[in-house]
Amino acid sequence: MDGSGGDSGSMATPVQKKVHEAWRVYQYYLDKTTPHSTNRWIGTLVVFLIYCLRVYSIQGFYIISYGLGIYLLNLLIGFLSPLVDPELEVTDGATLPTRGSDEFKPFIRRLPEFKFWYSMTKAFCIAFLMTFFSVFDVPVFWPILLCYWVVLFVLTMRRQIAHMIKHKYIPFSIGKQKYSGRRSSASSSGGSRAD
């Protein structure tokens, strides 16, 4: 009984330790990118352009691109949708205001911006890796897939925009009124803080 104590079940192999350490380093750098949204999206744009260049140069893997497009459309719908859908759930808690006299409740997305970015970037990377395996290069007539995806996008966005209009919410802060808070009123009234 030399393994007495609680350690016998938690013994990890050296491979598991290396994988765990690599995951911690990856998560550390991923967490450091959180406040740099512009740089993150520029990086995703670069990955997208590399993927497009790869698909264009080998003239194939259109089924992968179609599946990627459907997945990105699904992510976009989650990004534009509120956390609590007023049509599906009747709640006593936070709901979207429907009139100007209603209490302000902030728009909370079903899919936050960081997860939207991360899922999108990961999808582009996986699709790029899939282009190196010929088993995924299914011969299809790509204009039909493109037309079908465009029709699907238009119908889905029309439904989403109708939902936004019906429940009177805007998922973006562009054009919304911004309040400066207490700092500007304190600095304009004399400068000393007596709070």
Average pLDDT of the segment spanning 76-96: 73
Average pLDDT of the segment spanning 128-152: 93
Q: Which two tokens stand for residue 43?
A: 């990086």
- pTM of the model as a whole: 0.73
Nearest by Cα to 65 from 74, 80, 77, 54: 54
Residue 69 CA to residue 84 CA, distance in Å, equals 25
Q: How far apart are the first and last CA of the chain?
A: 65
Residue 155 CA to residue 12 CA, distance in Å, equals 51
Residue 8 has pLDDT above 60, yes or no: no
Residues near 92 by Cβ (< 8 Å), separated by ≥ 6?
none
Residue 132 has pLDDT above 80, yes or no: yes
Q: Which two tokens stand for residue 156?
A: 């889905």
Give the least confident one: 38-47, 55-64, 105-114, 141-150: 105-114
Nearest by Cα to 160 from 103, 118, 110, 122: 110
Task: Kindly report, residue by residue over 113-125, the tens digit of the pLDDT.
Answer: 999 999 999 999 9
DSSP assigned state of 109: B
Residue 12 CA to residue 51 CA, distance in Å, equals 38
Q: Is 131:62 a contact under the CB 8 Å cutoff?
A: no
Residue 41 has pLDDT above 80, yes or no: yes
Q: Which residue has the tokens 């039909």?
A: 144
Write down the pLDDT at residue 194. Answer: 46
Residue 45 has pLDDT above 80, yes or no: yes
Write down the mean pLDDT value for the chain. Answer: 82
Give the least confident one: 46-50, 53-57, 127-131, 136-140: 136-140
Residue 54 CA to residue 56 CA, distance in Å, equals 5
Task: Kindly report, residue by residue over 146-163, the tens digit of the pLDDT.
Answer: 999 999 999 999 999 888
What's the angle, vertex CA 39, arms to CA 42 and CA 110, rounded to 5?
85
